[in-house]
Amino acid sequence: MLADTTVSLSGGTVTEEARAGDVVGGRYQLVRSIAAGGMGRVWKAYDKRLRAEVALKELWLSGPLPPGQRAELLQRAELEALNAVRLRDHPNIVTVHDVVIENGAPWIVMQLISGGTLEQRLRTGPLPVSDVEAVASALLDALDAAHRNGIVHRDVKPANVMIGQDGRILLGDFGIAAPETGTGLTSTGAVIGSAPYLAPERAAGLPGRASSDLFSLG
């Protein structure tokens, strides 16, 4: 669990980081930080309008960014929401409810899962065979749904797999997903994804396919 950070969103001014108690989009009150990675932080939050707990993904826009890079990050947030909405009824895919732009920075409003990631679980040691089978089966179902909708995830890795306290297994983070017929959101000459899980064709800079996701799962 990460400690809460110490910069405010209040008064309409976003600084480098947010803190517990801040309100995003006029309705989502940050409760505590629950995870962080290279691109941002995930918060437990409270939807003051619906009186329900949600998760908010804060995409970091650290320091002054060129307009093109800022636009790309905003597009990534919108892309994740659009991809996830198409898959929102699947029991093994994290539901995305909304995207909020707070002073030019994107926040993705998601289903809150009580539990942790597969990456966190693996820190305690290898999974039993029965658990491996359950994880593989759930993720195959999730990827099958995505692929049937023409969506390639492109970043299947333990950090993007949620394991709920109730045993549910869900795939999240469709922020760099792409149509199977295209390259999606990327930069010229850049390969987006996590190196240890990249399929060979992705590492070579070729567009991802459904088979690339299956390689990453394997």
Model confidence pLDDT, tens digit, residues 182-207: 444 444 444 556 788 888 888 888 87
pLDDT greater at residue 70 or residue 135: 135
Residues 27 and 48: their CA atoms lie apart, in Å, by 5
Residues 151 and 157: their CA atoms lie apart, in Å, by 16
Mean pLDDT of the chain: 80
Asked: is 115-217 a CATH 1.20.272.10 domain? The reply is no
Residues 62 and 15: their CA atoms lie apart, in Å, by 9
pTM over 0.85: no
Give catalytic status of residue 155 as yes or no.
Answer: yes
pLDDT greater at residue 46 or residue 102: 46
Query: Looking at the predicted structure, is the pLDDT value of residue 125 above 80?
Result: yes
Beta bridge partners of 24: 28
What is the sign of the dihedral through the CA atoms of 32, 73, 95 and 173? Answer: negative
pLDDT number for residue 22: 94
Query: Looking at the predicted structure, is the pLDDT value of residue 107 above 60?
Result: yes
Q: Taking the domains of the chain in order of start, what are their residue ranges?
A: 10-110, 115-217
Query: Looking at the predicted structure, is the pLDDT value of residue 15 above 80?
Result: no
Q: Which of 22, 47, 155, 173 is catalytic?
A: 155
pLDDT number for residue 65: 59
pLDDT number for residue 62: 54
Query: Looking at the predicted structure, is the pLDDT value of residue 124 above 60?
Result: yes
pLDDT number for residue 187: 43
CATH topology of domain 10-110: Phosphorylase Kinase; domain 1 (3.30.200)
pLDDT tens digit sequence for 33-87: 988 766 678 899 999 999 999 999 887 655 555 667 767 767 776 776 777 778 8
